[in-house]
């Protein structure tokens, strides 16, 4: 039995998937974003569940992730958001993953590889409509597209862009991006191309129904966290990741007892202090020192003192029934209380995405409530 573990509730993942689906027209398809080990939730079991729910595409960031996902044969196309490097192209084309393209030299290399393998390289063209990050600038799209269309062995399956501020309440910049994106899609249509247009992340899916086009790309909402607290149309989402441990040592200490490194906390009354074997190495950030809360017997208990590499200390004086070996929930729910990724993220000055990625790196992960996929 490990001293701490991550539980992934696949029934919550299904619930969140259908929350997305309920917001969409029946013609729009869902691309499940499972990059970075499905935001720490475990790429393969998550992808298997999403496929069983009716997702049509997956996206990962890097080719090696796509190769791992392809190897389990879920039968859905996999988009590689960062594109593929020349050294990876033979394998990528051979197994049919979909590189995102934004560089003509890479597109030409893909074309040569496709011709030499006597196969098609199926690509998604990335356009920068205002994020300023990856993608062909709008001003260059027309000539890029004309050149891409002429390359032998290349089939353009999708055209995508990405919102910079879809999670903010003011949607005016999204509308500017959308206007540019529509123009790009028209440019493609005028050349006889029929493609999946896609620009909506979770925030776009929830707040901008007119931005769904043929395909949407939810990530964070599938994992049960809203992309921000500014959404105009928030959804009913359920946390998927639960991070748990147990009380390793429980003891009474007198008033005036310093707790942990740096003596940053000193008891103001006789106290019961629980030591729990998780720390910053387990993804429980040191920024939670003297700030975080955990759940014991369904009640919140404050983290006191500094987070160590593999231990934290919790004040459970107000929970007299607490005992050694009791379950401690650091993220997720216990009885009626929940500690969300958003709550921890706010204490750490970051976003829930980063909290899930960090905690998701834990060695012990169990998958609960698998659905029709029968894992």
Ligand X SMILES: *Cc1c(COP(=O)(O)O)cnc(C)c1O
Known catalytic residues? 35, 261
Site for ligand X (CB under 6 A): which residue of 28, 111, 202, 334?
A: 202
Site for ligand X (CB under 6 A): which residue of 14, 48, 217, 242?
A: 217
φ and ψ at 91, to 5 degrees? -65, -40
Give me the residues paired with residue 245 across strands: 4, 328
Residue nearest ligand X (C-beta atom): 219
State in angstroms the smallest separation of the CB of 69 from ligand X. Answer: 15
Give me the residues paired with residue 368 across strands: 9
Q: Which residues contact 68 (CB under 8 A, 6 or more apart)?
A: 43, 44
Exposed (0-12), middle (13-18) or buried (19+): which is 192, by Cβ within 10 Å? exposed
Per CB under 6 A, 218 contacts ligand X:
yes
State the DSSP H helix or E strand holding residue 346, giving kind and residue range, or none if neither.
helix 341-348
Please give the residues from 59 up to 118 whose contact with ligand X meets the rule CB under 6 A.
81
Q: What does DSSP say about strands 249-253 and 196-198: parallel, antiparallel, or unpaired?
A: unpaired
Exposed (0-12), middle (13-18) or buried (19+): which is 165, by Cβ within 10 Å? middle
Q: Within a 10 A sphere around the Cβ of 297, how many other Cβ atoms? A: 17
Of 9-17, 217-225, 332-340, 360-368: span binding ligand X (CB under 6 A): 217-225
Per CB under 6 A, 227 contacts ligand X:
yes
Q: Are the C-beta atoms of 340 and 359 separated by less than 8 Å?
A: no
Per CB under 6 A, 197 contacts ligand X:
no
Site for ligand X (CB under 6 A): which residue of 162, 171, 242, 365?
A: 162
Q: Are the C-beta atoms of 328 and 274 separated by less than 8 Å?
A: yes
Of residues 99 and 218, the one with the C-beta less far from ligand X = 218
Of 21-29, 213-221, 252-260, 341-349: span binding ligand X (CB under 6 A): 213-221
Of residues 83 and 283, the one with the C-beta less far from ligand X = 83
Per CB under 6 A, 322 contacts ligand X:
no
Of residues 162 and 171, the one with the C-beta less far from ligand X = 162
Per CB under 6 A, 33 contacts ligand X:
yes
Of residues 81 and 345, the one with the C-beta less far from ligand X = 81
State in angstroms the smallest separation of the CB of 353 from ligand X. Answer: 7
Per CB under 6 A, 224 contacts ligand X:
no
Q: What does DSSP say about strands 154-160 and 337-339: parallel, antiparallel, or unpaired?
A: unpaired
Exposed (0-12), middle (13-18) or buried (19+): which is 118, by Cβ within 10 Å? exposed
Per CB under 6 A, 28 contacts ligand X:
no
Of residues 69 and 81, the one with the C-beta less far from ligand X = 81
Q: Provide the binding-site residues for ligand X, judged by CB under 6 A.
A: 33, 35, 81, 162, 201-202, 217-220, 227
């Amino acid at each position: 039995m490990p001293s701490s573990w991550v539980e992934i509730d696949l029934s919550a993942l299904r619930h969140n998937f259908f929350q997305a689906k309920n917001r969409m027209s029946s013609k729009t398809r869902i691309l499940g974003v499972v990059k970075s080990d499905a935001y720490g939730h475990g790429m393969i079991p998550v992808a298997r569940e999403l496929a069983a729910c009716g997702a049509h595409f997956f996206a990962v960031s890097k080719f090696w992730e796509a190769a791992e996902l392809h190897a389990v044969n879920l039968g859905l196309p996999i988009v590689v958001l960062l594109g593929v490097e020349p050294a990876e192209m033979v394998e990528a084309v051979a197994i049919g993953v979909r590189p995102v393209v934004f560089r003509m030299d890479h597109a030409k290399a893909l074309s040569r590889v496709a011709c030499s393998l006597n196969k098609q390289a199926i690509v998604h063209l990335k356009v920068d409509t205002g994020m300023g990050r990856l993608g062909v600038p709008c001003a260059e799209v027309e000539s890029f597209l004309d050149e891409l269309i002429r390359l032998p062995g290349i089939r353009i399956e999708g055209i995508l862009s990405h919102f910079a501020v879809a999670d903010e309440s003011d949607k005016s910049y999204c509308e500017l991006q959308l206007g540019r994106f529509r123009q790009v899609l028209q440019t493609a249509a005028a050349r006889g191309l029929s493609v999946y247009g896609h620009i909506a992340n979770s925030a776009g899916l929830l707040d901008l129904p007119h931005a769904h086009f043929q395909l949407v790309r939810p990530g964070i909402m599938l994992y049960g966290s809203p992309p921000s607290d500014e959404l105009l149309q928030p959804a009913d989402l359920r946390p998927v990741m639960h991070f748990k441990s147990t009380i390793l040592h429980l003891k009474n200490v007198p008033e005036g007892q310093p707790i942990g490194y740096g003596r940053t906390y000193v008891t103001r009354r006789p106290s019961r202090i629980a030591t729990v074997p998780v720390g910053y190495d387990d993804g429980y950030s040191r920024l939670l020192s003297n700030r975080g809360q955990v759940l014991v017997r369904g009640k919140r208990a404050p983290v006191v003192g500094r987070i160590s590499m593999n231990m934290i200390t919790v004040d459970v004086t107000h929970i007299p029934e607490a005992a050694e070996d009791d379950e401690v929930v650091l993220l997720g729910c216990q009885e009626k209380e929940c500690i969300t990724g958003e709550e921890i993220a706010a204490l750490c000055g970051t976003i829930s995405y980063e909290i899930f990625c960090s905690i998701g790196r834990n060695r012990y992960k169990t998958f609960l409530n698998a659905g029709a996929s029968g894992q």
